[in-house]
């Protein structure tokens, strides 16, 4: 890789990220069913109908995984705490689940790794999905209670806490585009989820602050959107897409408003009284986190009844996901975030990575494409810092090959290969390259 640690400020953190349902093995430790188990069991939702029952069995193998993280010279580990493990029915604490996160955090500290916790990374307890999930306003209060329970147990030892991972994916991608659990294509459900997820963030943040937690934030995913062509309709569609994906959540959180371009379509479907919540999702934070992967090109399709937006990938080289590799998107977005929304507040790149069809040959995985990808994105992060963004850390997605949601175990994002038959871990060439760069 072309960079060295000394290119960055001394306090800059290098780490890797994972999420509970994607790695832990959800069948272990008394966790309750989640809406991802429901979604996976349906027809045609997930490749081969795979679920997270065993995943990487990180639940039993976390010591080995944290050793690998430490041996790479990493400073921090971004992990998430499964709501359904901590509270199997969404409401009642599970001692076994709490003990597990206790051991996990201690194991990080024993290895000198800073624990970066995400409270909610998508596995909604099925019992709450039965009550309407994110369409139900009560879920926001229940999320607050979950925040209290897990923070009472591990909050004294974590270095940072993010409330929610990627509100756009939880709401729009899952309730309007139907790609993720609960797999809906329902604009009324979408409008509710888009509002409630902001409210849940605000409630979670209030609970954290009441406990004196300092380093709290949220993880948002942004994509650098561009019109597909020069037409006025594509320009308008790109602006609308940007408002829904990039502005809806950050503006609610920092300004207490929703962008007019997004409300134009969503307002008729919003829950009653939504405007009175204005400001409840506006909470002071210590940091913002950005997940960044690709560059959608947006166009408008005239159906004859109404105009609808479509998103396609840009022209550059693609990853195994079919996503365009576009490091300049990260370079341009980080300063935009500082300039337009958060000023000097610290930012962490909490996820950046690529999937590739990696294979073990002679005991090793050769992945030069990923080495280039990481090198380019870390260089883009450096440029963003030079342009004024207060970026304080970079987490590769992901530490391990894992359960990639609707793609099952087919897409490999890890810097460590996992054989899903034997669960053997094999660090890839990119792991070794990143380790060498961090040591320089």
Q: How far is the CB of 223 from ligand FCB (least distance, A)?
A: 10
Binding mask 260-299 for ligand FCB (x = CB under 6 A): -------------------------------x--------
Instruction: Give the whole-angstrom CA distance, residue 52 versus residue 409.
Output: 9
Q: Which of 36, 405, 409, 431 binds ligand FCB (CB under 6 A)?
A: 405
Site for ligand FCB in 343-362 (CB under 6 A): 351
Determine which residue in the list 45, 81, 165, 240 makes contact with ligand FCB, applying CB under 6 A. Answer: 165
258 touches ligand FCB by CB under 6 A: no
Nearest residue to ligand FCB by CB is 19
Which residue in the list 24, 50, 166, 226 is annotated as catalytic? 166
Least Å distance between CB 413 and ligand FCB?
6
Q: Would residue 369 show up in a list of annotated catalytic residues for this protein?
A: no
Closest CB 174 distance from ligand FCB, rounded Å: 11
The verdict on whether 110 is a catalytic residue reads no
Nearer Cβ to ligand FCB, position 53 or 235? 53
Stretch that binds ligand FCB, among 45-53, 162-170, 254-262, 312-320 (CB under 6 A): 162-170
Half-sphere exposure of 353 (CA within 13 A, CB side): 28
Q: Which of 404, 415, 416, 437 binds ligand FCB (CB under 6 A)?
A: 404
Q: Give me the helix-helix angle, 429-439 and 368-386, nearest 10°.
A: 40
Smallest gap from Cβ 362 to ligand FCB, in A, equals: 28
Q: Is 403 in the site for ligand FCB (CB under 6 A)?
A: no
Question: Nearest to residue 102, comparing CAs of 54, 94, 56?
Answer: 94
Q: Which window, 103-111, 269-277, 334-342, 397-405, contacts ligand FCB (CB under 6 A)?
A: 397-405
Measured CA to CA, the distance from residue 214 to residue 217 in angstroms comes to 9
Q: Given 123, 324, 351, 404, which residue is catalytic?
A: 351
249: nearest Cα among 239, 241, 259, 240 = 259
Residue from 147, 174, 221, 228 in contact with ligand FCB (CB under 6 A): 221
Please count the other Cβ atoms lying within 10 Å of the Cβ belonging to residue 121.
25
List phi, psi (to 5°) of 417.
-75, 140
Which parts of 121-140 interact with ligand FCB (CB under 6 A)?
none
- Report, in Å, the least distance between residue 118 CB and ligand FCB: 9
**Is 80 one of the binding residues for ligand FCB (CB under 6 A)?**
no
Q: Which is nearer to ligand FCB, 248 or 413 (CB)?
A: 413
413 binds ligand FCB, rule: CB under 6 A: yes
CA distances from 383 to 6, 260, 330 (A): 15, 32, 9
Q: Does 117 bind ligand FCB (CB under 6 A)?
A: no
Please tell me whether residue 19 binds ligand FCB under the rule CB under 6 A: yes
**Catalytic residue ranges:** 166, 351
Enumerate binding residues for ligand FCB (CB under 6 A).
19, 22, 165-166, 169, 221, 291, 351, 397, 404-405, 413
């Amino acid at each position: 890789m072309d960079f060295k640690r000394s290119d960055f400020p001394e306090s800059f953190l290098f780490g890797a990220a994972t999420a509970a349902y994607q790695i832990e093995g959800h069948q272990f430790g008394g966790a309750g069913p989640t809406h991802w188990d429901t979604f996976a069991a349906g027809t045609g939702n997930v490749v081969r109908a795979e679920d997270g029952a065993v995943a990487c069995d990180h639940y039993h193998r976390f010591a080995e995984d944290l050793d690998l993280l430490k041996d790479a010279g990493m400073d921090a580990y971004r992990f998430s705490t499964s709501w359904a493990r901590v509270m199997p029915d969404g409401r009642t604490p599970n001692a076994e689940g709490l003990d597990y996160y206790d051991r996990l955090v201690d194991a990080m500290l024993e290895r000198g790794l800073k624990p970066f916790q995400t409270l909610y990374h998508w596995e909604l307890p099925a019992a709450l999905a039965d009550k309407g999930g994110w369409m139900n306003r009560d879920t926001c209060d229940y999320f607050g209670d979950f925040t209290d329970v897990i923070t009472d147990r591990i909050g004294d030892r974590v270095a940072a806490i993010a409330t929610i991972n990627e509100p756009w994916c939880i709401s729009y991608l899952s309730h309007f585009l139907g790609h993720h659990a609960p797999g809906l294509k329902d604009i009324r459900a979408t409008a509710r989820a888009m509002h409630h997820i902001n409210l849940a963030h605000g409630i979670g943040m209030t609970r954290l602050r009441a406990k004196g937690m300092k380093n709290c934030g949220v993880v948002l995913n942004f994509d650098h959107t561009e019109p597909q062509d020069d037409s006025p309709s594509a320009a308008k569609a790109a602006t609308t897409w940007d408002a829904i994906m990039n502005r809806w959540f950050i503006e609610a959180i920092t300004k207490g408003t929703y962008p007019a371009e997004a409300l134009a379509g969503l307002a008729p479907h919003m829950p009653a009284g939504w405007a009175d919540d204005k400001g409840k999702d506006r909470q002071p934070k210590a940091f913002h986190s950005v997940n960044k992967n690709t560059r959608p090109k947006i166009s408008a399709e005239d159906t004859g009844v109404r105009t609808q937006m479509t998103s396609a990938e840009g022209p550059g080289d693609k990853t195994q996901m079919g996503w365009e590799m576009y490091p300049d998107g990260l370079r341009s977005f980080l300063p935009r975030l500082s300039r337009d929304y958060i000023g000097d507040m610290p930012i962490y790149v909490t996820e950046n990575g690529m999937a590739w069809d990696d294979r073990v040959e002679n005991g090793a995985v050769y992945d030069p494409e990923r080495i280039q990808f990481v090198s380019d994105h870390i260089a883009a992060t450096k440029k963003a810092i030079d342009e004024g963004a207060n970026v304080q850390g970079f987490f590769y997605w992901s530490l391990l090959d894992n359960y990639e949601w609707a793609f099952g175990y087919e897409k490999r994002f890890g810097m460590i290969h996992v054989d899903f038959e034997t669960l053997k871990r094999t660090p890839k060439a990119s792991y070794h390259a990143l380790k060498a760069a961090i040591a320089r």
